[in-house]
Amino acid sequence: MPMSYRIDTVQKAVFLEGSGVLTDEEMIDCVRHLRGDAQLETGMPTLSDMRAVQRLAISRRGIDEMIAVMAATDANRGAAKAAIVASEDLQFGMARMLQMKADEKVHPEFRVFREMAAAKAWIGLD
């Protein structure tokens, strides 16, 4: 599966991972399932690792739809931080677009990083 998530109940954090060819539908479906997961606690930080994505087939429409899914389930997230790690320029740019479009509209608060250590530090994970 090109995008998956895992909720760590010990660290109280969400980990998403992208790989291979990532499409709008796969991204939106993963977020929809995450937002409906009973283990998701309000305020959990999220770390999204997109470094293994070989080809990003995400559109602006897909980002808008994902934000709509997040807005419809925003009560499940509450105030939280979400770090996205993207090493390739296209991935980084699309993640920044998500950050800008989501800013002040939905939770969590997004930031995009190129380095895993900086992303972990920002969301408070060691």
Instruction: Determine whether domain 3-123 maps to CATH 3.30.750.
Output: yes
Is-contact 47 81, C-beta < 8 A?
no
Domain ranges of the chain: 3-123
Q: What is the pTM of this model?
A: 0.93
In Å, what is the CA distance from 71 to each residue of 16, 32, 46, 78? 19, 11, 16, 11
Q: Is the pLDDT of residue 81 over 80?
A: yes
User: Measured between alpha carbons, how far is 69 from 57 in angstroms, rounded to an integer?
Assistant: 19
Reported as a single tens digit per residue, the pLDDT across 4-59 is 999 999 999 999 999 999 999 999 999 999 999 999 999 999 999 999 999 999 99
